Structure 1
Amino acid sequence: MASAAEQLASNISLGSFSKATELKKRLWFTLGALILFRLLSFVPIPGIDPHAMAALYETQSGGVLDFFNTFSGGALQRMSIVALGVMPYITASIVVQLGSSLYGPWATLKKEGETGRKKLNQYTRYLTVLLVMVQGYFIATGLEGLAAKQGISAVVEPGMLFRLSATISLIGGTLFLMWIGEQITSRGIGNGVSLIIMAGIVARLPQGIGQLLESGRSGAMDPFLIITIAVLAFALILFICFMERAQRRVLIQYPKRQTARGMMQPERSHLPLKLNTAGVIPPIFASSLLLLPITILQMAGARSQAGSKSSELLITLSTYLQHGSPLFMVLYAAGIIFFAFFYTAVQFNSEETAENLKKHGGFIPGIRPGKATENYFDYLLNRITVIGAAYLTVICLIPEIISNQMGLTNLRLGGTSLLIVVNVTMDTVSQIQSHLIAHQYGDLIKKAKLKTGKRR
């Protein structure tokens, strides 16, 4: 028999959506915040010539710059005040989360509840400012160096004043995006930072599809190949949806309790363990960690003098780490696997779960409560996470490898981007359904109270 929540979910309609005023306010707020993000991506930093910047980007496009530009929704191509997007904030979050697991004082703060969480969030913001300062300075000096090498001056007046204004503008843009993401999470629908990344990817999607169709129309690409790409993308979306819904249900049994008829009957429930507990976090974390040093290397290489030993070294390193290179793919896969295991351990605390089951009298059939249950959860999570990490690695890398081999560099939606878009969309839709179910539960409670009042 379907549960009450499942029955309510099946009865959700447009009529119930129109009555959910709180949900509509949250949706409008989220939409307005994302529109504001898109508008900011067209505001260049002070001292930049937009036309010259577009021409300069064409000479440097490809590889990691396109990868970075996709995540920022084209803001890097226009050298917008939000060109760095939320990637520095994500990198800072990684460092703080790792520190809270390995560094003693931060681990103590993590256990202090809401107070400790606020303190760690403050450290994350400080570290974000520091990272943007470093990246912003290298980007500003790199633009000046590229202008000298390429003969295209995107910087109107090079110098320390431009570097200072560009760095401050990038810091302000990233911090404002970080604030928007927090506001979407608290006052809107879905995870704010993930929605901002998805909005940037989706904004670049029409351009990539248009270029792909134009290649087919002009004869540069076989139309059959375009149809094959569309079919594979659709199959990939279905596969991602299936894997994100997959879970291992652990049977939990509670002691026998007396029913209304006087019979002793054990209570049973299931604890669902998602196959991909970490969600879309591992590829986002791995991308942000790789993009930070690669961006600094490329801009530092543009700044250095041509022919010098430092210039040759920086160019060699950036070439080895170029998006699509074997070393990049290996590091990216290693980052995804590491963060899949790390974030799963952060999300699911085996010791705490086993202790809570023991307190409430619950147990897994055949497993002793306490330490044995904790070890069993660790065993299950390790096996599940191996499959989840392999799934994330295949989804993120295989389409990228195929695209590079076939020369489909104009296709903006790779495996990582597709995974982020599908995953964030599913999470957002689930939250919308939860709000609608809660609204319908509220209506049922109100009707029940009215009927009880009339009977009295």
Structure 2
Amino acid sequence: MKLENKHELYKRIFFTFFMLAIYVAGKSIVLYGVAGDEAQQTGVQSYITSFFSGDRYQKTVMALGVMPYINASLLVQVISALKSANSRAKISKQKQDRWMLIAAVIISGLMAVAQATSFTYRSDAGPKILVMIIAALELFGGAMLTFYLCSANEKHGIGASMPIIMFNVITTLAETLQLNHFWHYPFMFVIIAFVTAGTIFLENSIIKIPLQRVSIHNIHADQNYMAYKRNPVGVLPVMFATAAFLVPQYFVRLLVFIFPKNKTLSNILDGMVLTRPLGVKIYLIIVFLLTIIFSFIMLNPMESAHQLQKNGDSIVGVYAGKDTRRLLVKIVVKWSIISGILQTGCMALFLIMSLEKVIPVALAMLPSSAMILVSIICTFVQETGTYYRYDAYSFFM
């Protein structure tokens, strides 16, 4: 019997483009009642906002973008990773999806209200409080539509939320480079090239730790190994730190709206920006710490050492138990620090140059853009290769 070609890759690519088309169409819908002369965000702040929404001026129903999805996803991943292996095994995919939806609804609701309170509204649009509620509902609806698109793309397309992030970064990057004369700063080419090469190397290389498995006694026994990426968690820390840096702003903005005469809250809000030294330091510290923390949470070297000992397996030349745990922890610490230094070092250099007026403020986040784009492209290539091999597989009849 002749088997039909599955065309899994083509179906997934088509679905991803269809999902992006819906997202782009949503970005053209302007929020009701928002004044045309609403102050526009500029510089670093608008750039990191556009990572997630692609809406630099925050005036469309898609202004919250993928930020609720990313935060909800990472929150569920962290909670699951903190549980024991037995507890994780009892958590179904449906239960995780339900947790993500609940988290996304809460995050979207809070961010929508906070964002709606920051707008200036047209006097002819109606009572301000009513127009503000409408804008908040539109923002919430856009965030939940984006959440649904990302969830559907995870099941039927390629890359979950990554196509939207890549689209946002590319469109924002093109606009930023054009408006800020990137070509007038040749030294930036060298730094971006270094960031790109370093990210490609870390994303596509692994450390092979040879294993002795008690259940394998054949010619393939010496081919067993445990694999760790040299970039343990990719650019998750950069993306999450950017989101983590913005989410508190929404919360403080909401508090300022509730308590407009509180000078302390106003000063905090003014200081939570990447155009001031304190904001830069906080952001870089968050990125570096998250790189190490996420590496331990996602890779969990202690749990890996325990499972090896439980199964009777061991690392070649290393005793099971404490010695194995010590080795795995050392590997994770080493490469998470290297990854963290690469990411924070290049971003720090650009942010400092922007503070010193050496480069335009809008170009300060170029290293983040390069790392995110390269990481997403590498993931796309790997995932596309998986589905391509699936389509190419031939069954023996």
Please report the TM-score for the alignment, with normalisation by the length of structure 2: 0.86
The correspondence of residues 119-198 of structure 1 with structure 2, limited to 5 A, is 119-144=95-120, 153=122, 156-190=125-159, 192-198=160-166
Q: Which residue of 2 aligns with 1:244?
A: 203
Q: Partner letter of residue 288 of structure 1?
A: A
Verify: 1:257 aligned to 2:217, yes or no: yes
Give me the whole-angstrom Cα distance separating, in 2, the residues matched to 1:130 and 1:177: 15
Q: Residues 313 and 162 (structure 1 numbering): CA distance in 2 closer, same or farther, change over 3 Å?
A: same
Verify: 1:64 aligned to 2:23, yes or no: no
Q: Residues 400 and 20 (structure 1 numbering): CA distance in 2 closer, same or farther, change over 3 Å?
A: farther
Q: Is the 8 A contact 2:211 2:313 kept in 1?
A: yes
Q: Is the 8 A contact 1:20 1:436 kept in 2?
A: no
Q: Which residue of 1 aligns with 2:360?
A: 408
Tell me how far 1:413 sits from its aligned partner: 5.5
Q: Is the 8 A contact 2:44 2:274 kept in 1?
A: yes
Q: Which residue of 1 aligns with 2:347?
A: 396
Q: Residues 33 and 325 (structure 1 numbering): CA distance in 2 closer, same or farther, change over 3 Å?
A: same
Q: Which residue of 2 aligns with 1:208?
A: 176
Q: Partner letter of residue 376 of structure 2?
A: V
Give me the whole-angstrom Cα distance separating, in 2, the residues matched to 1:120 and 1:254: 32
The correspondence of residues 191-340 of structure 1 with structure 2, limited to 5 A, is 192-213=160-181, 225-254=184-213, 257=217, 267-298=222-253, 301=256, 308=261, 310=262, 312-340=263-291
* Structure 1 alignment gaps of length 5 or more: 1-18, 148-152, 217-222, 260-264, 450-456
Give me the whole-angstrom Cα distance separating, in 1, the residues matched to 2:87 and 2:198: 38
Aligned residue-pair number:
391
Verify: 1:40 aligned to 2:26, yes or no: yes
Give me the whole-angstrom Cα distance separating, in 2, the residues matched to 1:314 and 1:407: 31
Q: Partner letter of residue 370 of structure 2?
A: L
Give me the whole-angstrom Cα distance separating, in 2, the residues matched to 1:245 and 1:119: 32
Verify: 1:113 aligned to 2:93, yes or no: no
Tell me how far 1:429 sits from its aligned partner: 0.8
Q: Is the 8 A contact 1:142 1:300 kept in 2?
A: no
* Structure 2 alignment gaps of length 5 or more: none
Q: Partner letter of residue 186 of structure 1?
A: K
Query: Residue 23 of structure 1: SS of its match in structure 2?
Result: helix
Q: Partner letter of residue 335 of structure 1?
A: I
Which sits farther off after the overlay, 284-293 or 159-168?
Answer: 159-168
Indicate which of 55, 65, 69 corresponds to 1:89. Answer: 69
Indicate which of 16, 25, 33 corresponds to 1:30. Answer: 16
Query: Residue 208 of structure 2: SS of its match in structure 1?
Result: strand
Q: Is the 8 A contact 2:38 2:119 kept in 1?
A: no
Tell me how far 1:389 sits from its aligned partner: 2.0
Give me the whole-angstrom Cα distance separating, in 1, the residues matched to 2:47 and 2:257: 17
Give me the whole-angstrom Cα distance separating, in 2, the residues matched to 1:422 and 1:206: 16
Q: Residues 273 and 56 (structure 1 numbering): CA distance in 2 closer, same or farther, change over 3 Å?
A: same
Give me the whole-angstrom Cα distance separating, in 2, the residues matched to 1:296 and 1:357: 44
Q: Which residue of 1 aligns with 2:332?
A: 381
Which sits farther off after the overlay, 246-255 or 80-89?
Answer: 246-255
Q: Partner letter of residue 22 of structure 1?
A: E
Give the % identical residues: 21
Larger radius of gyration: 1
Q: Is the 8 A contact 2:350 2:365 kept in 1?
A: no
Query: Residue 257 of structure 1: SS of its match in structure 2?
Result: coil
Which structure ranks higher in relative contact order (CA pairs < 8 Å, sequence separation ≥ 6)?
2
